[in-house]
Structure formats: structure tokens, C-alpha cells
Amino acid sequence: MTTTTQSPPLARGTAPGTALTGPGLFTVLLGAALPLIDFFIVNVALPTIDRDLSASEPVLELVVAGYGIAYAVLLVLGGRLGDLLGRRRLFLGGMAAFGLTSLACGLAPTATTLVVARVAQGAASAAMLPQVLATIQATTAGPRRAKAMSMYGATAGLSMVAGQVLGGVLVSADLFGTGWRSVFLVNVPVVVVALVLAARTVPETRSARPEPVDVPGTVLLALALAALLAPLTEGRAAGWPLWTWMSLAAFPLLAYLFYAVERREDRAGRTPLVPPSLFRLPSLRRGLIMVVPFSIGFSGFMFVIAVALQQGERLDATAAGLALAPMAAVFFATSLAGPRLVARWGTRVVTAGGLLQAAGLSLIALAAWQTWPHLGVVQLLPGAALAGAGQALQLPILFRIILSEVPAARAGVGSGVMTTTQQAALALGVATLGSLFLSLAPGMGMRDALLVTLAAQLATVALTVTLSLRLPRSIA
């Protein structure tokens, strides 16, 4: 007698035979890695860009901030367009645009040209990234979805650390005399391979009942995020001119107008850009609240440690990047064990991860206090390894929690909301903790400024640990 095993049901709007295969999952995860790597890869390249293009400090900050703001502002729109036009189509289009804009960044003759290309690269990333989670949600179910979501979370976290390591290696290697340009040019052959793979392995999906683009909501969200992120990222370097304070003052009003417009659309039975009804899902609401302090602390630390090691310790780009290699390695290894740990202990694994991260940051602070100015890979190793393990027990699991109850028909919207929240928080981390460090360093010295910044990050970790106690005990 033979038995047959039925595949889990797919989302509405997904054609039969479009389950995501192993090669397809690899391809979309590659698409998820590229935008996150490029957010962090420039941290260790900024000093070289400064020398080559004679860029001022505000312009250098725009190289980072321009990408982050465009990325954050357009992510939800990218998710909606994928629901409407087809996620595979948007993934391919965004990937191709990402390759072209990476080429433009690598060939930029001036600092201004580089900033413009980086903004365009952020927009391309916003078209590509939401399709990854939406495709996973629409083409997998049950244990396969749990595994795919865990791998997405592991990819995201590893990419953020590996981007900085890779940037340091590429800048120091000076491949074919390209210097800092190689951190962008390396994307081009990767994108070509990814496009070929995506055309063959990624299934097409779209929402069963796609809604038109919410133009008022899109405009208001873009204005609100820009009003918050632009002054925070540029204010310190520009000397806090009047426009920065006016922009910050406008943010609460724009945020309220956005909420009012979205609530009106939701109550009328239409699908706004960010449906307020989504936030009735406890898992999504509580998970998003945790992602904010986690991402602020994570990105702030990555920016600050790169500056401290290069400008304070006078390490070259390779040494500064490789100092975080243990964090990346331990993150990857620990994230593989995450699904088994969650199956046994539930979401209390996230709480344990926060405690491990706090212990790791404390060891890093102790090493900086005792060994400065001789802080390097060996001195950072214990703390970086513990922090990497703790982060791996938080971020991938939080991604699973946030999307666990989101209906498949709203997969694009849900993934867009999550990635927008994460990206905005990453930009806030660089703006707040980065500005704190750079403001304190001239008066206190690099070591003490680093210790104060690490203390601030420990406060964000304490907040995530406290919030984790309110998470649902199991993941749907």
C-alpha cells in the first residue's frame, strides 16, 4: 500500500505548483541580504571616500542617510506594489535596479553624484526586499514556513554584521585599484547571477484581491519618515540649523495625519497602505515594539565601533571589519539552533537572548576600559561572541512572531510594515547613538565616549528584555 503526503495549503492568490523550492528560497534570501549588507558596508569605507572625493562630514553622512531614508520611506509602497503587480516581477525589477544603482555608486565621480546614486539604490532596495517575506508567506506553510522565516531572520542579522566585515576587507584589498568603489561594484556580478536564478526558481504570486495604491497614505508616510530621519541624521553635522527643528516639530503632526487617513480608509473597507487593523494582532504589535530598540542599539553599535576602531585605535579597514567576524560567526551558528530552542522553550528564548546580549556588551565595555588603546579582535572576542549569540536568539525569532498571524492576502503589507519599522530604527540608531558618540568624543576622548555609548545601548537591551516578557509564549 502506498501513502501520499499532502503539501500544506498555499495562500489565496497563489497558483498551484508555486511552492517555494530550496533554490528559490536561496535566491530570495540572497535578495534580502544585499540591501542589508549595503546599509552597513560603507561604515568602514567612509574615511577612504572622504580622502578620494574630498567630501565634507554632512555629505558623508548623506551617503549613509540618503540610502537609509529612501529605503525606509518606500518599503511599504514596495510591498503594496508587489501585492498588486506580482511579487516576482517586483523582485526582478528591484534586483535589476539595485545592480544598476550599485554600478552608479561605484563609478560616481563626485561626492554629490554618490549621494544621488545611494538614494536611488535605497529606492531599488525598497522595491526588492518586501517581496522576499511576502513570497515566503505566500508560498510556504507549517514547518516549512517556520524554517524559511528562521533562515530569513538569520540572513538579515548575519548580513548586517557581515556587511561591515566585507567592507573592511574589500577596501583594504583595493581590487584592481578600485579602493572604496569595490564595496559597490561587487554587487554587480552578484545581481547578474541572482537575476538568472530568480527567473528560474522564484514563483510568481500576488494578492487574491489587490487594492490600488494608497496615494495619500504613501505621501504622508514618506513625509513623516523624512521629517524625522533627515534632521536626526544631518542635524549634528550641519550645526542644527532652523530647518532641522522645524522638521522635527512637523513630525508629530504628519504622523497623526497619516494615522487619521489610514484609519478612515480601513473603516471604509478599503486597504490603506498601513491598515491600523493589523495592529490588533498582539504578535505583530508586540514584536514591532521590540524591534525598534533592538535595531536602534544594533545599528548604533555597528557605526560607533567602526569609527572607534579606525579613528581611535588607528586600525586599518580590514582589521576594523574583522574585529566583528566572531560576532558574525557565532550569530550564524546560534541562529541555526533557534527553531529547535523555540519549539522547546517558546518565546522565552528571546528573553534569554537579550540577557546574553547584555552580558556580551558588558564584556566589550570592560575590554575597552582595560585595554584601550589596544582594543582589537582578541580583546573583543568574548564580548562579541556572546553578543552575537544573544542577537541570534532575538532577531530571527522576532521576525517569525511579527508575521505569524498576518493573513496571507496581506503578506506584502505585513512584510512592508515590519521592514519599514526595522529600517527606520536602524537609521535612528546611527543618528542617535552615532551622534552621541561623535559629540562626546572631542571632549571625553574616544574610549570614554565609547563606554557611554555602550551604556546607552545596554539601556535599549534592558528595554527589549522587559518587553519580551509580554510576547505570546508560543508562535502561531
d(C-alpha 297, C-alpha 293), whole Å: 6
The separation between CA 36 and the C-alpha centre of its own chain, rounded to angstroms, equals 5
SS (H, E, C) 121-151: HHHHHHHHHHHHHHHHHHHCCHHHHHHHHHH
Nearest to 411 by CA among 134, 214, 30: 134
The pLDDT tens digits for 136-148 are: 878 887 778 778 8
Mean pLDDT of the residues in the chain: 83
At residue 8, the pLDDT reads 42
pLDDT digits 0-9 by tens, 74-120: 887 888 788 888 889 999 999 999 999 999 999 999 988 999 999 99
CA distance 205 to 18: 8
Kindly state the helix (H) or strand (E) to which residue 194 belongs, with its residue range. Answer: helix 187-201
Give me the amino acid identity at 404: S
Residue range 352-378, pLDDT digits in tens: 999 999 999 999 999 999 888 888 778
Do residues 418 and 133 lie in contact, with contact meaning Cβ atoms separated by under 8 Å?
yes
pLDDT at 5 over 80: no
Amino acid identity of 437? F
Residue predicted with more confidence, 376 or 411: 376
Residues 361, 357: Cα–Cα separation, whole Å: 6
The C-alpha atoms of residue 225 and residue 211 are separated, in whole angstroms, by 23
Predicted model pTM: 0.80
Q: Is the pLDDT of residue 26 over 60?
A: yes
Chain segment 7-21, per-residue pLDDT in tens: 444 444 444 446 778
**pLDDT by residue (tens digit) across 140-170?**
877 787 788 778 877 877 787 777 778 777 8
Rounded-to-integer distance, Cα 414 and Cα 442, Å: 43
pLDDT at 412: 67
